[in-house]
Structure 1
Amino acid sequence: MKADIAYKGALDICNTHAERLNWAMAELKPHFPLTPAKLAQLTPLELAIFDQFIVRFSKLQDAMGAKLLPAVLDLTQEQGELSAFIDKLNRLEKIGAIESANEWLQLREMRNQFAHDYPEDSDIQASLLNKAFGLSERMLVILKGVSDFAERYQQ
């Protein structure tokens, strides 16, 4: 019962981030693929939406990794003595909650790259945002898959 409550709370947080990420993606879609020239022409409002995209991508990835995925392991009673995050990811992959532990690590690396700011290098900015846009679509698919998987274990 406690695991079910923790899972539902984590899923609610993730769904809020996902909803806002989806909104930002819909607003930004016409700008992709992004180039340094397109970046230079963005309005202040469009830049704010890019900021929203980055924040929600990062928050969703973090909430899924720190709260949702461990809650799924608790819900399925699969956690055991897994202390390393990679071991948890591998277990989640093995039980079918996620398709690929390596893919999740790519999402985490993308989130970490957002922590670095490259204000003078529009080539790097455009490249990161293009990569993140594709990964964000994949992260939303993973969230749906995790949610569908966990439904079988809810009380």
Structure 2
Amino acid sequence: MSTAPVLLAASMQACAQRIAKLTQSIKNTRHLFPLTAATAATMTDDDEESLDALILRYSQCVSMIQDQVFRGIAYLEQEDISDKSNREKSLLMEKLGVIQSAEEIGTAAMLRNKFSHHYPDQSEARIARINLLAVECQIVLGAFDTITVYLHRKGFSWAS
């Protein structure tokens, strides 16, 4: 018996937990948006911690969807993605009907990459990236919902 369904179920459960934490972080930081240079300068330590948690959870969700969930779905669909880039995997997932937009997942990944390769500061560029989170988090939440619907439609149950 293949371990792929078990691994996909574990990936979906782990991703669902991260999605729940992301949702909580969105609620905890809602009052900070839209962020400006002036409001960034007056953020409390708790606000900064909450914003850091939002960025971390967003990044984790994007990575889990791209690296674990897409791989598990591709295996179940008997698609070889071993030599595919993340962009190609996203395009395949769009073609299969797993996600609505490969472009949106690509944009989410680019934002994740920008956060992981820049040091925390209050520059205008960083503030603009943080403000993008308000939109991009909703896209990631929507993508996870679409993935869940796809898996249920395929008869794959992962919830415990």
TM-score above 0.5, yes or no: yes
Distance 1:42 1:81 in 2: 44
Change (3 A) 1:144 1:30: same
Q: For residues 81 and 7 of structure 1, do their structure 2 counterparts lie closer, same or farther at Cα, with a shift above 3 Å needed?
A: closer
**CA drift at 1:97:** 0.4
* TM-score of the superposed pair, with normalisation by structure 1: 0.91
Q: CA deviation at 1:144?
A: 0.9
**Count of residue pairs brought into register by the alignment:** 153
Note closer, same or farther for the CA distance 1:140–1:81 as it changes in structure 2 (3 Å cut): closer
1:9 aligns with 2:10: yes
How much has 1:75 moved relative to structure 2?
Answer: 2.0
Seq. identity, %? 20
Letter in 2 for 1:26: K
CA RMSD of the aligned region, Å?
Answer: 1.6
1:101 is displaced (CA, Å) by 1.4
How is 1:111-150 mapped onto 2 (pairs within 5 angstroms)? 111-115=112-116, 116-121=118-123, 123-150=124-151
Structure 1 partner of 2:156: 154
Indicate the residue corresponding to 1:30 in structure 2: 31
Q: Aligned partners of 1:57 and 1:154: how far apart in 2?
A: 25
State the SS of the aligned residue for 2:129: helix
Q: Distance in 2 between matches of 1:142 and 1:81?
A: 20
Alpha-carbon deviation of 1:3? 2.0
Q: Provide TM-score, normalisation by structure 2.
A: 0.88
Rate the CA distance shift 1:74–1:35 in 2: closer, same or farther, 3 A: same
* Runs of 4+ more than 4 Å apart: none
Q: What is the one-letter code of the residue matched to 2:83?
A: S
Compared CA separation, residues 148 and 65, structure 1 to 2 (3 A): same
Q: Secondary structure at the match of 1:154?
A: coil
Question: Which string of whole-angstrom CA distances, capped at 9 and with x for unpartnered residues, describes residues 57-89 of structure 1?
Answer: 111111111101111111222x13652123322
Partner of 2:107: 106
Please say if residues 21 and 53 of structure 1, whose CA atoms lie closer than 8 Å, have aligned partners that are also in contact: yes
Instruction: Find the counterpart in structure 2 of residue 47 from structure 1.
Output: 48
Cα 1:132–1:2 shift into 2, 3 Å: same
Q: CA deviation at 1:95?
A: 1.2
CA deviation vs aligned residue, 1:75-128 (integer Å, no higher than 9, x gap): 222x1365212332222111100112121111110000101125152x122211
Going from structure 1 to structure 2, the CA distance change for 1:81 and 1:51 (only over 3 Å counts) comes to closer
Unaligned stretches of 5+ residues in structure 1: none
